Amino acid sequence: MDTTLWSCLLSCLLLFIADAKHLQQQTGPITCKVSRATSMDLSYKHLSKVPRNLPRNIQELDLSRNNIYSLHDKDLEGLPDLCILKITHNGLLDISPSAFLGNIKLQLLNISFNALRTIPELSLPDLRVLDVSENLYGSYYLGKSYTSLLNLAFLALGSPQARSINLTDFASLHAIPLQSLKLSSGVEMKLYEHGSIAQLTMLQELTLHMTFCENPEIFGNILQDLNKTNAESLTLVKFFPDICNVSNGIFAGFRSLGHLKSLFFYNTWFNSSVMTSLVRNVIQSPVKILSFYNITFAQDTPEGIHIPNVPGYNKPGNIRIIVFQTIHHYQYNFPLINVNVTLFPYLNYVKFSGTGMSILPCNLISALPSLQVLDLSDNLLKGRGLWWPSCSFSNVFPALKELYVRSNKFVDLQFISNHTYEMKNLNKLDLSTNSLRLMGMSSWPPHLTELSLSDNSLGDAAFSYLSPYVEIVNLSHTGITALTQTAVSQLSSLKHLFLSSNSISSLPSDLSLPDLEELHIHQNIINTLNQNTFEGLPRLKRLKAGRNPFACNCDIAWFVTSFNKTLLTDWPSDYTCSSPHDLAGMALENYHPGWVSCTPWIQAVISVVIIIIVTGVLGYAFYTFDGAWYLQMLWVWLRVKRRGYQEANRLRAAAFKYHAFISYSQKDSEWVDTQLVPNLEAANFNLCIHERDFVPGDWIIDNIINCVEDSYKTLFVLSQNFVQSEWCNYELFFAQHRALSIQQDSLVFILLEPIPADSLPKKFLKLRTLLRQQTYMEWHKDERKQQVFWTNLKAMLQVADKSMVLERVAKEVTELCHLLNENE
Ligand SMILES: *[C@@H]1O[C@H](CO)[C@@H](O)[C@H](O)[C@H]1NC(C)=O
Ligand SMILES: *[C@@H]1O[C@H](CO)[C@@H](O)[C@H](O)[C@H]1NC(C)=O
Ligand SMILES: *[C@@H]1O[C@H](CO)[C@@H](O)[C@H](O)[C@H]1NC(C)=O
Ligand SMILES: *[C@@H]1O[C@H](CO)[C@@H](O)[C@H](O)[C@H]1NC(C)=O
Ligand SMILES: *[C@@H]1O[C@H](CO)[C@@H](O)[C@H](O)[C@H]1NC(C)=O
Ligand SMILES: *[C@@H]1O[C@H](CO)[C@@H](O)[C@H](O)[C@H]1NC(C)=O
Ligand SMILES: *[C@@H]1O[C@H](CO)[C@@H](O)[C@H](O)[C@H]1NC(C)=O
Ligand SMILES: *[C@@H]1O[C@H](CO)[C@@H](O)[C@H](O)[C@H]1NC(C)=O
Ligand SMILES: *[C@@H]1O[C@H](CO)[C@@H](O)[C@H](O)[C@H]1NC(C)=O
Ligand SMILES: *[C@@H]1O[C@H](CO)[C@@H](O)[C@H](O)[C@H]1NC(C)=O
């Protein structure tokens, strides 16, 4: 069979699936978009009439299962937007002809399961779906008003009292584009006027829920009328009740049909003789899809369904699709089927599901020449039930591509894999929901590229039982706890990997599946998604990763912000945070940690910048508030104190005339006279002052020597002036008195202005060394700093008396601290 035909058939199948859905809910042609806000469910409310003052914008109103017995003129007025109205199961007896006058937008009206005695007149030009079935009227007569239902597409009628159909009944529908008609009296048809249904020329599908046991010719007449419409689909519900007296000729009408494509049987009793008759006739009809849902089968003929050939018919049958879904076996034994497969040359889809089958009629099914899809789901098959040892498997399933054996009793995967080699074209095998166990290693043929092992307890080993040729693998719900690159590395052809509903806690960051296009990992226990994982999946087009317990932290931030969401089939609804606790339940979509807080290098840069700024600010503050000066002063003071005891001893031995000898330049005399001297003399220090206390006539050096020797400390008021005019004397003095034991500790330098040691003339060797070694005190213009200065200076000059030393240290520490604090 060529591919065009195959795809056509697949679309037929889809059509048929759509049909089945259509049967369940006839809302297909409805065009209004009802939102939750404009929909009101008032079912099961014990209402006896339509409530007043309903919101005016209501589009959908459900009044089912109440006790509304009649609909009056004004009951539904004030609902101009009403589009869908359901008043089923109410015991409704009558409807006023003008009840829906104000509801011209009504598109669906369901008044089934009531007690209407006549089919009500309706003038609703927009009505598309009307269900008046399961009522109590005696005739299917549709009044003149139905000529105005120009949009009516679906109509359901039915009353156990209405057992005849007159030509006039559907006359009003002559020009209506009705597509689907459902007649469901549920009882025996008594009379049918030939031509009644033929008036519905646009009809596409007909559903009959009635029996023809007594008047099988009525069914024949209906088939003939159906032939005159466009109908391609016929559904027969409860066509045969348990006891039905029909001749086998009831299906003869199918043979001469022109364009019927699908035939569906629901909830019907069948025995093998009737089934045989049906199949013989359908083979000769244009029907392509033959389906049975929920049938009860009894074998009334010893040979079962027996169709060795069809006498007098030598054309191949048209059937493409046969579906048996749910068969109840009346006799609890498996039906005999003996059908000549050459009658089904085009049959390519067979579904045999929910039948309790434990052994496949292998010689029959496997011999179907063009069978491409075999669905044996929901049976009781085991390995040897499908591959029955007495069946010949030399050349079986010549065209079979897809085999579905979901929900059976298969156990041995190796056995199955061995046998897939026998199906030379098989490329898809669905083994979901069996009892598979991994025993011996399995090997698979190269043509098998799609495998579903979902819903079996396989565990992590499952990966090593897969074929390297496999492209699509479903391992959902198989108890897998880990996905590793090693496990999937040999699956080089993998394109679709489904691992939903397992216990995988993370995806490996080294995952590398270059051809993978689709990955399902939803409903696992994954906390986070690693960006590296997806670098190994360059072809990924679809990802389903929702319903995992995501930890909303920086690790997943990239996913929220930069992952291509068009790849996600379940975004955003299925993605929520599970942790941390305060974010639990939040939609992952709404998780937006600042990119700063989640980007380490930005953080590093910011930290560095902050450190630089803080350092800068501190440095600036230190500079502007003369931190260096304070530090220096503190250092001076500490040194003074450290020598306190030493000094005390020294002082006791020595007797000084002066506390200090002050040497300064004449040019700095103003400062000395106004600041230094008054301050120190006020503190009762004896001072020997250069010039004032020098003995006139003595050589200056002698004067200096005398003063230095009589003083406890020698105070130099250093300034550029002093260095230039006075210091040379002292260089000389120090040169001469090298042997003299002048303690350098007794020298105190007060800097009136900054004098870097290196800026001094090279000849002042001593001063340079002294300034480098000694700590000096800088004079400052700031008054607070001056106080610190004086405190330190006085402390230095204090002629220590041993008992006083400790006390003074304590006092001065407090003072100094106080001063320093004040300054901040
Ligand atoms: C009308 O309501 C009945 C009862 O709920 C339901 O079975 C039937 O499918 C509905 N008909 C349509 C056309 O929706
Ligand atoms: C139409 O059917 C009714 C019964 O529903 C019957 O009484 C009547 O005679 C029929 N009319 C015609 C014209 O056949
Ligand atoms: C079935 O039909 C036969 C004759 O055709 C008749 O004798 C018998 O009574 C019928 N049975 C029922 C239940 O209608
Ligand atoms: C088989 O079923 C048909 C239709 O229900 C019935 O007429 C016939 O009598 C049945 N045959 C047997 C042997 O029960
Ligand atoms: C059904 O219609 C086809 C043409 O579509 C025609 O050939 C055939 O004879 C008709 N069958 C009956 C029973 O009217
Ligand atoms: C199956 O058919 C029987 C009657 O044949 C009916 O009673 C039962 O409700 C049907 N089951 C379903 C699921 O339709
Ligand atoms: C099956 O049918 C073909 C023709 O339709 C016929 O030639 C063949 O003999 C039949 N096989 C059996 C076993 O009846
Ligand atoms: C599958 O085939 C291998 C080798 O062909 C064989 O050893 C093994 O027993 C077979 N397993 C089963 C369960 O048939
Ligand atoms: C995989 O198998 C699970 C369980 O049988 C099923 O629900 C799911 O739809 C499958 N996934 C795909 C993509 O076929
Ligand atoms: C996201 O993925 C889609 C589909 O693969 C692609 O068309 C689109 O260009 C991607 N967008 C970005 C921003 O990468």
Rounded to the nearest whole angstrom, what is the distance from the C-alpha of residue 112 to the centroid of ligand 1?
Answer: 7
pLDDT for 763 beyond 60: yes
Least confident of 76-85, 582-591, 748-757: 748-757
- Which residues sit with their C-beta closer than 6 Å to ligand 8? 412, 414-415, 418, 440
Enter the pTM of the model. Answer: 0.73
Asked if 229 contacts 257 with a C-beta cutoff of 8 angstroms, the reply is: no
Least confident of 129-133, 310-314, 468-472, 481-485: 310-314
Which is more confident, 304 or 131?
Answer: 131
- Kindly state whether residue 412 falls inside one of the protein's structural domains: no
341-to-320, 370, 375 alpha-carbon distances in Å: 13, 10, 18
- Kindly state whether residue 703 falls inside one of the protein's structural domains: yes
DSSP class per residue in 461-495: GGGGGS-TT-SEEE-TTS------HHHHTT-TT--
Rounded to the nearest whole angstrom, what is the distance from the C-alpha of residue 342 to the centroid of ligand 7?
Answer: 7
Least confident of 245-254, 649-658, 677-686, 694-703: 649-658
Q: Are residues 582 and 700 in the same domain?
A: no
Domain boundary among 108, 125, 142: 125
pLDDT for 593 beyond 50: yes
Q: List 472's β-bridge partners, or say none.
A: 450, 496
Q: What residue's CA is closest to ligand 2, atom 13?
A: 166
pLDDT band for position 14 (cuts 50, 70, 90): very low
Q: Are residues 584 and 667 in the same domain?
A: no
- Which residues sit with their C-beta closer than 6 Å to ligand 6? 267, 294, 296
Residue whose CB lies within 8 A of the most ligand 5 atoms, among 256, 261, 284, for a mutation test = 256
Pick from 205, 192, 258, 267: nearest CA to 235: 205
- Kindly state whether residue 295 falls inside one of the protein's structural domains: no
- Kindly state whether residue 385 falls inside one of the protein's structural domains: no
- Kindly state whether residue 104 falls inside one of the protein's structural domains: yes
Asked if 344 contacts 317 with a C-beta cutoff of 8 angstroms, the reply is: yes
Cα dihedral: 788, 791, 797, 799 (round 10): -160
User: Cα Rg for the chain, rounded, in angstroms?
Assistant: 53
Rounded to the nearest whole angstrom, what is the distance from the C-alpha of residue 291 to the centroid of ligand 9?
Answer: 25
Token pair listed for 85? 């109205």
Q: Are residues 676 and 555 in the same domain?
A: no
Rounded to the nearest whole angstrom, what is the distance from the C-alpha of residue 520 to the centroid of ligand 7?
Answer: 49
Please report the pLDDT score of residue 116 as a whole number.
Answer: 95
Average pLDDT over residues 21-42: 74
Residue whose CB lies within 8 A of the most ligand 1 atoms, among 65, 131, 154, for a mutation test = 131
Which is more confident, 368 or 702?
Answer: 368
- Kindly state whether residue 290 falls inside one of the protein's structural domains: no
- Which residues sit with their C-beta closer than 6 Å to ligand 10? 541, 564, 566-567
DSSP 298: E
Asked if 434 contacts 407 with a C-beta cutoff of 8 angstroms, the reply is: yes
pLDDT for 107 beyond 70: yes
pLDDT for 231 beyond 60: yes
Asked if 517 contacts 495 with a C-beta cutoff of 8 angstroms, the reply is: yes
pLDDT band for position 798 (cuts 50, 70, 90): confident
Pick from 206, 257, 265, 205: nearest CA to 239: 265
Domain boundary among 74, 109, 125: 125
- Cα 673 from chain centroid (whole Å): 86
Please report the pLDDT score of residue 671 as a whole number.
Answer: 84
Least confident of 204-208, 226-230, 769-773: 769-773
Average pLDDT over residues 539-546: 94
178-to-28, 141, 153, 181, 197 alpha-carbon distances in Å: 13, 16, 4, 7, 11
**Domain containing 69: what range?**
39-125
pLDDT band for position 42 (cuts 50, 70, 90): very high
Domain boundary among 575, 593, 611: 593
When the pLDDT of each residue in the chain is averaged and rounded to a whole number, the result is 84
Q: Are residues 680 and 802 in the same domain?
A: yes
Distance CA 688, CA 503 (A): 95
Please report the pLDDT score of residue 600 as a whole number.
Answer: 75
Q: Are residues 656 and 799 in the same domain?
A: yes
Please report the pLDDT score of residue 8 as a whole number.
Answer: 42
Q: Are residues 654 and 739 in the same domain?
A: yes
pLDDT band for position 21 (cuts 50, 70, 90): very low
Please report the pLDDT score of residue 652 as a whole number.
Answer: 57
- Output the domain CATH number for residue 730: 3.40.50.10140
Distance CA 540, CA 516 (A): 6
Q: What residue's CA is closest to ligand 6, atom 5?
A: 267
- Kindly state whether residue 353 falls inside one of the protein's structural domains: no
Q: Are residues 561 and 662 in the same domain?
A: no
Rounded to the nearest whole angstrom, what is the distance from the C-alpha of residue 364 to the centroid of ligand 7?
Answer: 13
- Which residues sit with their C-beta closer than 6 Å to ligand 5? 224, 227, 256-259
Please report the pLDDT score of residue 12 as a whole number.
Answer: 44
Residue whose CB lies within 8 A of the most ligand 2 atoms, among 166, 183, 189, 190, for a mutation test = 166
DSSP 544: E
- Output the domain CATH number for residue 115: 3.80.10.10
Rounded to the nearest whole angstrom, what is the distance from the C-alpha of residue 563 to the centroid of ligand 10?
Answer: 10
pLDDT for 806 beyond 60: no
How many domains does one find in the chain? 3
Average pLDDT over residues 572-582: 89
pLDDT for 91 beyond 70: yes
Q: Are residues 746 and 662 in the same domain?
A: yes
Rounded to the nearest whole angstrom, what is the distance from the C-alpha of residue 314 to the centroid of ligand 5?
Answer: 20
Ligand 7 near 308 CB (within 6 A): yes
Please report the pLDDT score of residue 68 as a whole number.
Answer: 94
Q: Are residues 660 and 557 in the same domain?
A: no
- Kindly state whether residue 526 falls inside one of the protein's structural domains: yes
Model confidence over 346-394: pLDDT tens digits? Answer: 999 999 999 888 888 877 888 888 999 999 999 999 888 888 777 766 6
Average pLDDT over residues 9-38: 59
pLDDT band for position 20 (cuts 50, 70, 90): very low
The three-point CA angle 347-350-356 to 5° equals 150
3-state secondary structure 613-645: HHHHHHHHHHHHCCHHHHHHHHHHHHHHHHCHH
pLDDT band for position 802 (cuts 50, 70, 90): very low
Please report the pLDDT score of residue 48 as a whole number.
Answer: 92
Q: Are residues 540 and 659 in the same domain?
A: no
Q: Are residues 805 and 673 in the same domain?
A: yes
Please report the pLDDT score of residue 641 as a whole number.
Answer: 67
Please report the pLDDT score of residue 153 as a whole number.
Answer: 94
pLDDT for 731 beyond 90: no
Average pLDDT over residues 234-252: 88
- Which residues sit with their C-beta closer than 6 Å to ligand 2? 138-139, 164, 166, 168
Q: Are residues 583 and 679 in the same domain?
A: no
